[in-house]
Each structure stands twice: as structure tokens, then as C-alpha cells.
Structure 1
Amino acid sequence: MADKIAPHKKAVRVKKKPLVAMFGPDLGLKGGISFVVLEYLKAGLHRKMPFIFIPTTTEGSRIKNALFFLKCIIITLRTMMRSRVDICHLHVSHYGSFYRKWVIFRIAKIFRCKVMVHIHGSNFERFMTENSFNRWMTRTVFNRADRVIVLSDEWKAGIEKFADKSHVVKLFNPAPRPRWVDVDHTRSALNILFLGRLSTRKGVYDLLECIGARRAFYEELGVRFTIAGDGDVDAVRAIVNRDGLNAIVNVPGWISGKVKERYLSNADIYVLPSYHEQLPMSILEAMAYGLPIVSTWVAGIPELVEDGVNGHLVDPGDIDGLGNALRTLVMSKEKRLSMGRESRQRVAGIFDAEKMITRELTALYERL
């Protein structure tokens, strides 16, 4: 009796996941790009597909950074020659960040890699248009990139003027998952928190003017402000001392890790009266902790904060409007709680890092 022959099965080809090389600042550096990449890693991007991260800059002097970038180029060339890198994901801001990524962009094209250019930096538009050399470089990159990632609808409309519309995609920054630390349930003070670079651009001097003009109101109701971040720390402390605000304003400088988590855990309101932004990570953090937001009608902020729903928005530089928005929330615990719940729900539904990576980022990679 003849042996039974197994029926022929057509071979099924399994599509190999692309190897992604991501480029950005050293993950120990302060700033939004490092924060975004860390959230990608915490959410497991490196476990969902082949992944390499290559830092292009670090903390230190210009000479140290020049040597660091030279090392980055060597690592990039060695990686390209030894591995089949399919996609280079470049996190780009303005000036030095862009110039460094320009070099990586050229190397990637020589090795025929797909390139995704991910734009960060509130001053990128000014950088892009301030001289003919920058205009030429940015337009060349946008036109030759396989995808250009932007953080807001406003930026999408702007970049589409210089690039193939089908190549420009919006991808929100991911929100961190909150970790409540040392919550003080016995406190009587109402805490208002600012996190970010202490600078004119972030509106920190407008906030100080607003506090000074309403000092008696805040003192009477036990309101306390924490203005935390790097930048003009000494200048901000000097204004606090000059205007006699020490009793209601704390300026701890840069905070991170558990210290930052403690401040977020014990905050009641988050304020960021910025003049220029893209999609502030600090607002996403505050929303994840269930805080109502007071901010401005700038760039991607209205896509995070719906005025009257999970916070209040004012025009940049409108100090009276800023004061009125803060007063409304200070005077109504019900509004603070309801807007805070809305903030948390928005983060869970739209900005959750794990969902974003699974639903959007890996899909972008696999479609290239």
C-alpha cells in the first residue's frame, strides 16, 4: 500500500519587522525629546520590534559634544555596515540638533534607509525661515524624507507647505503613567505648579507679575506656587525676594524623578502661560496626574486642553486673563476636580504611551 503523501502546503511568507535606528539626545539630558524617547522605551517599543538607539549629543562643553558626535557618526557607519538598518528615526529640534541630524540623514540616504524626521522644538519655525541656508536644508530634508512627523494640526498645516502632504503625519507625544508619591492628605494649602524652563518664552515672568498683583488674595486663601525648572533660576528667585513673595512662591530649580512625582502628586492646578510651544510634555504629565490646566492658545496646546472642559486657555501675555483663570479654579474645588478627571480621561484615551506605540508608531514603521 502506497504511503500517504501529505498535501502540499503553500509557503506563507512572514513579513519581517523592520530594524529601526532612532537618533536623539542622550537619555540622561533634560528636555522634551529625551522624555519622549524614554516614554517610548518604558512602553516597550524596543520589545515590539528590532530597535537601536544612538545618542547624538550629551551634556558638556562644545568640544566634548563635538567628540561625542564624532563617536556617534562612527557608531552609525559601523551599524549601517554590520546590520541591515531599515528605518532611521531622527528626533529633530532647531540649530545644533538639526545640523547633527542633517549629517545622519545624509548617511542614511547613502545606505538607502527609509528616514522619518520627527520635529520637536518650539522655535523650529523661526530656525527654518531665518536665513536661506536653513530654508534650503529644511526643505531638502522634508522633501527627501519618507515621513515627517509633527506634533499638532497647526504644525502639520505649516510643514505641508514645504513637503509632500502624504508624507506628513501627526503623532502626539506620549503621556507618562502617573506614580503618586508622598501624597499629603492633611495639607490645607492649595498648590499651583509650573514645570519647565524658566524663561520669557514659557511665560514665567508673566506668572510672577500675576502672583505679585494678587498676592493678598493668594495669601488669604493659602495658595502656594511652585515654579520648578532650569534656565533663569537665579533671576526668578531674585524677583521673588524683591517682591516679597517668598511665603507663597517656591523656586526649587530643576526637579526630576521622585521629587517631581511628589510635586505632581500634591498639586491642585497646573499652569504654563507659554508664548511658543509645540506639544508640551509637562502639560501631558500634569493631565496624567489629573490636574486642571491653565495655559495659552499656542500651537498644539488647544489639542490637549479644551477651554472650559479640562482647563482654561488665555492669550499669551494676558496677565489679567491668566489671573482670572487661576482665580476661577482656586475658588471652585468642584471645577478643579471635574476638570482634573477630564484631563486624566483624555490622557488614558488618546495619549497613553503603550496604546500609542501599538496603534500608531509601530504601524508607521511597518508601512514604510
Structure 2
Amino acid sequence: MSKVLIVATSRKTRGGITSVVKAHETGKQWNKYHCKWIETHRDGPSWRKILYFIKAYLQFFCLIPFYDLVHIHVASYSSLKRKKHFLSLAKFWHKKTIAHFHPHKPEVIFEKNTQKEYIHFFKSVNRIVVLSPQWQRWIKESLNITENIQVIYNPCPIVNRSNVDRSKKYILFAGTLYHRKGFDTLIKAFGKIANEYKNWKIILAGNPKEEKDKELMSKLPKQLNIEKQIEYPGWVVGEQKEELFKNASIFCLASSAEGFPMAVLDAWAYGVPVICTPVGGLPDIVRNEENALIFDYGDVDTLAVQLKKLINNKALWKKIEEQSILLAQTTFNINNINNQVEELYKSVLNE
């Protein structure tokens, strides 16, 4: 049976790529194709990153002769620069290759000084996997690449929706707390309606990126006089994350850009209605007042209106809850996604 090497970030790293590979790891294709995860990068100091890369490359160097296909997960330009060394070695050994593209913003492939390297990388592989049709369109527009591209969505996790307690009445935000993620927009929007909903609060799960973000986390609620209606539990994992998502009444994604946000997929899995910005691959799926509510990045007033609408309109809330669960069970079903990955491997290996 053919064997597949997976080149991706460390399983200890926070982020979308790690979550996606962990989801793929649960599929039957993982064992069928004897998948081996080469962990190339881990968050932390520079020395740790360098050691991780050296260890990963040496491991890859020793294993590549015995594998048939290399599935490379790549995102930002710095990720591309690391992964191109693995691609070069794979091509030297005449191995089939897949580039699975996880960008965090469209600008990654529209910046003129990096486009040539993305074009070379993508044209060197047998197949490009993107996160939505929108990303397929952007690659065509920015890099003029139209062949050997296919869409495989990130999957929703399998979760336990029993014993849900929505009486706690909170709006959940999950992600790094800095301006590009829009956490300050959510705080300001909630500040506009907080006096009307004294029994509601917002929970912002994540850590600040910079010192100025940490200062804003403290200063902004005080300015708006809503300190008692805001909680910062930090970065959450495991049972704490499960409880926060399961019992949330609303999930808010306020980002300026995304690939296809895993936090929204988590919310859909738990049936939590989502209010979001139309970023990344979301416009391919999200329909305003059908399966989510939408506002533009930084638009505090519209977000406040959407929050009130979802708090007050129980029929709309129920409709979006049902549509969220449906998305998790169909389009983003983890078993369906893993079946698509298996078919991808089969197709590329037979080319």
C-alpha cells in the first residue's frame, strides 16, 4: 500500500493547520495510507523554531525514499520558505506532491514581491488544495493558476451537544486578542447595548498578541463601564473550551481576514449561532439571516444591531442554530472531509 508523508506545523502549535491535520488523523485514510506527520514548526523562541526545522528536515530526509506522496500544508510566506525545502527534496525523489493552502488573508498571494515564489511552488506540485471556492478564484486572479486545484473544506469537529446550558447568556469570542481579529470591535458594540442586557456578558477566550492589546483589554471595558460583563479566561483547550462553546448563546468572529476560520466551524459543530465578518471562504457558505448574521470589519454600529437582533429574535436564533448544526453534519462533516482526503490521495497517486 502507498504511504503518505504529512508536512505541517507541530501538533503542539495553536492554529488552523494543526487542527485540520488532527482532524485528518481521525480518518480511515490516515492508517490506510500509513500517514506520518513531520512537524516542521512550533511557536516559541527562535532557537526552538530552528531546532524544530532541523529535526523535521532530517527526519524527512531519512523517510522520503520510503514514501510515495507528500502532503504539504503551507500558509504564510514564512511557511512557504520553510516548506519549499521539503518540496524540493520530494521532487528530487520523484514523489507525488500536494500543496494544501491555509492562508490567513488574501494579501498573502497578491503581494507582488512574493507572487513568483508562490507560483513556482504551486506549479511544482501535482495538486493544490484550497479551503473554499473563493480561494480558488483568488489564486486564479492573483497567480493565474487554474489547473490541478480542488476545494476541500476544513472540517467541523465531532462534539457532544448534550447537557447544553444556554441560560448563562454569553457571547463568545475565541482567538488571539489583537486588532486584526476585531476583539475591540466586539467590546465596543456590546458596550452600546450592555445596559439593556444586564444579565448578558461577553467572554473573550484568547491571549493578547502585544502589550498594547493587553492594555486595551483592560482600558476599553472601563471606558464603557462594562467591566462586570466581560470575562477573559485566556487561551482555552480541552474541557474548558468544550464547555465555553457548548453553552454559548452567540459566537462572534470579527476578523479583518481569515482563511476559513476554525472557530466558526467549532461554533457550528455546537449549534451556536454565528455573527461574523464576510472574510476568507465564509462568503461561499454564509447567508445573512439564513445561517448567520453578517457585519463588516470594524463596523461597531452594525454589530450592535446584529447582537440585539439575535438576542431578541428567538425564532431567528433557532433557525440559525438549526442551520449551523446542518452545516456541521453535511458540508463540514469530518467523515465526509476525510473521505475527500482519501479520494485525493487515490487520485494523485494514480496520475
TM-score (structure 1 length as normaliser):
0.88
Instruction: State whether residues 75 and 101 of structure 2, in contact with CA within 8 Å, keep that contact through their aligned partners in structure 1.
Output: yes
Q: Which residue of 2 aligns with 1:212?
A: 191
Pair 1:118 & 2:95 matched: no
Q: CA deviation at 1:101?
A: 0.5
User: 1:90 aligned to 2:67?
Assistant: no
Shift of 1:182: 6.4
CA–CA distance in 2 between the matches of 1:115 and 1:59?
Answer: 26
- In the TM superposition, what whole-angstrom CA distance separates every residue of 1:159-194 from its partner, at most 9, and x where no partner exists? 124254231111100110112476447x3x422111
Match of 2:83 in 1: 101
1:229 & 1:323 partners in 2: Cα distance?
A: 22
Which residues of structure 2 form unaligned runs of 5+? none
1:22 aligns with 2:1: no
Q: Per-residue deviation at 1:71?
A: 1.1
In the alignment, the residues of structure 1 paired with residue 334 and residue 325 of structure 2 have an alpha-carbon distance, to the nearest angstrom, of 14
In the alignment, what sits opposite 1:154? 134
Decide whether the 8 Å contact of 1:39 with 1:353 is kept in 2. Answer: yes
CA distance in 1, matches of 2:104, 2:129: 15
AA of the residue aligned to 1:147? R
1:77 aligns with 2:58: no
Of the three residues 241, 264, 274, the one matched with 1:283 is: 264
Q: Could you tell me which residue of structure 2 aligns to residue 31 of structure 1? A: 15
Greater gyration radius:
1
Root-mean-square deviation (CA, aligned residues, Å) is 1.8
Report the 3-state secondary structure (helix = DSSP H, G, I; strand = E; otherwise coil) of the residue aligned with 1:263. Answer: helix
Q: What corresponds to 1:198 in structure 2?
A: 177
Deviations 1:79-118 (A, max 9, x none): 013x1x1111111111321111111111111111111111
Higher helix share: 2
CA-to-aligned-CA distance 1:214-262 (integer Å, 9 cap, x gap): 221232xx11111111234623431224433221111111111110000
Q: Structure 1 CA distance, aligned partners of 2:160 and 2:239?
A: 9
Q: For residues 222 and 296 of structure 2, what CA distance do their matches in structure 1 show?
A: 28
Q: By how many angstroms is 1:48 displaced?
A: 3.2
Quote the residue 1:3 is aligned against: none
- 1:211 is matched by which residue type in structure 2? F
Q: Secondary structure at the match of 1:278?
A: coil
Shift of 1:306: 1.8
Report the Cα distance in structure 2 between the residues aligned to 1:146 and 1:355, rounded to whole angstroms.
22
Q: Work out the number of aligned pairs and report it.
A: 343
Which position in structure 1 is the counterpart of 2:207?
A: 230
Match for residue 345 of structure 2?
Answer: 365
In structure 2, the residue matched to 1:11 is none
Looking at structure 2, the residues matched to 213 and 192 of structure 1 have their Cα atoms a distance apart, in angstroms, of: 14
Counterpart contact for 2:194–2:200, Cα < 8 Å: no
The counterpart of 1:251, out of the listed 228, 232, 246, is: 232
1:307 aligns with 2:291: no
Indicate yes or no: 2:49 matched with 1:65. Answer: yes
Please say if residues 188 and 224 of structure 2, whose CA atoms lie closer than 8 Å, have aligned partners that are also in contact. Answer: no
Which of 46, 56, 66 is the aligned partner of 2:30? 46
In 2, the alpha carbon distance for the partners of 1:291 and 1:304 equals 16
Q: Is the 8 A contact 1:143 1:163 kept in 2?
A: no
1:153, 1:183 → 2: CA distance?
34
Counterpart AA for 1:146: N
What amino acid sits opposite 2:7 in the alignment?
A: F
Question: Which secondary structure state, in structure 2, belongs to the residue aligned with residue 138 of structure 1?
Answer: helix
Code of the residue aligned with 1:112 in structure 2: it is H
Taking the aligned partners of 1:261 and 1:182, their CA distance within structure 2 comes to 12
Residue identity over aligned pairs, in percent, reads 26
Report the residue type matching 1:54 in the other structure. Answer: I
Which residue identity lines up with residue 90 of structure 1 in the other structure?
I
**Aligned partner of residue 328 in structure 2, secondary structure:** helix
Structure 1 residue 341 corresponds to structure 2 residue 312: no
